[in-house]
Amino acid sequence: MKHFISFIIMCVTAMCVAAMPNAACFNVIPRPQSVTPLDGKAYNLTGKTTIYCDNELAPEAGMLHDFIKQETGMDLKVKVGKKGNGIFLAVNKAIDNPEGYRLKVGSKGITICGASPAGVFYGIQTLRKALPQGIAKSIEVPAVDIHDSPRFAYRGAHIDVSRHFFNVNEVKTYIDMLALHNINRMHMHLSDDQGWRIEIKSRPRLTEVGAWRNQTVIKFDSGYDGKPHGGFFTQEQAREIVAYAAARHITVIPEIDLPGHMLAALAAYPELGCTGGPYEVWEHWGISCDVLCAGNPEVLKFIKDVLGEIADIFPSKYIHIGGDECPKDEWEECPKCQAKMDELGFIETEDRPREEQMQAYIMQQAEAFLASKGRKVIGWDEILEGGLGPDVTIHSWRGMEGAIEAIKQGHDAILSPTSHFYFDYYQSKDTDNEPFAIGGYIPVKKVYSFNPMPEGVTPEQAKHIIGVQANVWSEFIPTFSHLQYMALPRMAALAEVQWCQQEARNYSEFLERLPQLAALYRTNGYNYAKHVVK
């Protein structure tokens, strides 16, 4: 199989090398499963070409038109509900994978069939990425037959709008970046100690107070910048983002991190804390000891009020409720928390302190509430410390141990180990010439090297690994241009880990294809790191 794949890669590479500058090349990222060169003439794509499609694919046809116009200058016609020679888009239910597609090029045209509109969209992305960048009157598209589908159904990327706020247009651009890389989940970290970023109408002070901090620490502890920082999304803006993502077959998964990382909420509603405050939206980084008071009955009402509105705004199957890095110091001293643990009958054991049982109780209450609304919960791997409902998905960030434990218990797992997928880490060891980062070192090669199947897991357990995600925490990423730089081109390596089978991946060959994708970065004005590609 490896030799066969290498042979196909050489064939496609030879086609690209032999092609004229105005010829398409299917050496794209992520690399399709099967690319078979065909005998026969190439298709001549010109401004007179027409895009035909079934009625349900009118949005996808419109986006293909826009991609081609932006990247080549050709203004193709679109005819909905008609068939003809040119580019034809169709749904073909016979394709097995729901996101699979087939792209076939002959002398009379290009056909893209998908098992669903999402599959068609990924075929469109492959065609788009194959086209040369720059104004052209005609482009030769080589005769080829491509069969493709993704390895994982969950292909995620994360954006932290809490530590530093990014506006609607910036988030939309980030969504476009994800779509270019065949990523289909955007995890939005909407709340933290440093800012609350989503309007909750039943709790207006969350954005009136919690969305703003007076200043921000410089780097780790080099004083403060003296500049107020803040912002939030109205519910209408959040729905606008959800719709924009959905049109690109991306699901937005919101995160409200609880019961820790809640200082911005406590600044707005100090009665929800163990001490009653006063609290301020945090101006520096780290883990605050101020968390929601586990013994206050109003806290569970607050959680349900917030999650209820979140579920109304975001139609995603999953809601992320965090659960990470929650200090228990205040619970140990708080009479209300201790009384509540007594009431619930929690008994201290060597393996399970009462405070851990208390956090598990809070998370279970949140899970049950969301289940009543037909939603499922994702939580960081710390929530394994308590009892879990059967439908909880573990988001493993502290290495692979959490994921392995989760799948052994029969839970689904998403993989985001800090060792490979924290894109707020440096990409180069020459940190003096890099934008400031939180630390660490994850070059493109390290991202690409990740094997998402741990050794020793059974085939049944392996089914519970539903996908891979990269996280971009924004403590030291104050601008959107900086965010793009940290994500690109590492996102390209992530895309192949998510999309391609393990045996089909080869880093040296990946680097040969990367310049073609980087040309698209430049066309779209994306800022990217140039350590491995210019």
Give pLDDT tens digits for 140-197: 999 999 999 999 999 999 999 999 999 999 999 999 999 999 999 999 999 999 999 9
Contact (CB, 8 A) for 471 and 163:
no
* Separation between Cα atoms, residue 134 and residue 516, nearest integer Å: 12
pLDDT band at 21 (very low <50, low <70, confident <90, very high): low
Length of the chain: 534
Looking at 185-235, which runs of residues are DSSP E strands? 185-189, 191-192, 195-196, 212-213, 229-230
Alpha carbons 454 and 229: distance in angstroms, whole number: 42
> How many other CB atoms sit within 10 Å of the CB of residue 48?
12
Round the CA-based radius of gyration of the chain to a whole number and report it.
Answer: 25
Give 350's pLDDT tier (boundaries 50, 70, 90): confident
Q: Specify whether the CB–CB gap between 283 and 213 falls below 8 A.
A: yes
**First-last CA distance in the chain:** 32
Q: Angle of helix 58-72 relative to helix 507-523, nearest 10 degrees?
A: 80
Residues contacting residue 510 through CB under 8 Å, at least 6 positions apart: 29, 31, 448, 492, 493, 496
pLDDT in tens, 466-480: 999 999 999 999 999
User: Per-residue pLDDT tens for 225-272?
Assistant: 999 999 999 999 999 999 999 999 999 999 999 999 999 999 999 999
Contact 60, 165 (CB under 8 A): no
Contacts of 246 (CB under 8 A, 6+ apart): none
Active-site residues: which are they? 192, 261, 325
**CA 298 to the chain's CA centroid:** 33
Reading the block at residue 386, the tokens are: 């308590």
Q: What pLDDT digit, counting tens, does each position of 403-445 carry?
A: 999 999 999 999 999 999 999 999 999 999 999 999 999 999 9
Q: Where are the beta strands (DSSP E) in 87-210?
A: 87-91, 101-106, 109-114, 138-141, 144-148, 154-160, 185-189, 191-192, 195-196
What torsion do the CA atoms of 68, 73, 79, 84 make, to the nearest 10 degrees?
-80
Structure confidence at residue 10 as a pLDDT band (50, 70, 90) = very low
Mean residue pLDDT of the chain comes to 95
Query: b/e map of 234-258 (b: 16 or more CB within 10 Å)?
Result: eeebbbebbebbebbbbbbbbbbbb
CA–CA separation, 471 and 528 (whole Å): 17
Q: What is the pLDDT of residues 455-466, one digit of tens each?
A: 889 999 999 999
- Whether the CB-CB separation of 160 and 52 falls below 8 Å is answered with no
Q: Are strands 191-192 and 185-189 parallel, antiparallel or unpaired?
A: unpaired
User: How many Å apart are CA 500 and CA 517, to the nearest integer?
Assistant: 17
H or E element at residue 396? strand 393-396
Q: What is the pLDDT of residues 185-210, one digit of tens each?
A: 999 999 999 999 999 999 999 999 99
CA–CA distance, 412 with 408 (Å, rounded to integer)? 10
> Could you tell me which of 101, 88, 91 has the C-alpha nearest to residue 52?
88
CB-CB contact of 130 with 141 (8 Å): yes
- H helices within 413-506, ranges in order? 418-421, 444-448, 459-462, 480-487, 490-499
Query: Cα–Cα distance between 528 and 103 in angstroms, integer?
Result: 29
Q: Please give the pLDDT value at position 76.
A: 98
DSSP designation for 209: T
**pLDDT at 14 exceeding the cut of 90:** no
Task: For 21, list phi and psi in degrees, rounded to 5.
Answer: -60, -25
Residue 7: the pLDDT is 47
262-319 pLDDT, tens per residue?
Answer: 999 999 999 999 999 999 999 999 999 999 999 999 999 999 999 999 999 999 999 9
User: Residue 384, CB half-sphere, CA atoms under 13 Å: how many?
Assistant: 22
- Specify the residue for token string 């994978």: 97
Which of the four pLDDT bands, split at 50, 70 and 90, describes residue 386? confident
Distance, CA of 331 to CA of 296 (rounded, Å): 11
d(CA 124, CA 241) in angstroms, rounded, equals 22
DSSP-derived secondary structure letter, 22: T
Taking 60 as the threshold, does the pLDDT of residue 379 lie above it? yes
pLDDT greater than 70 at residue 12: no
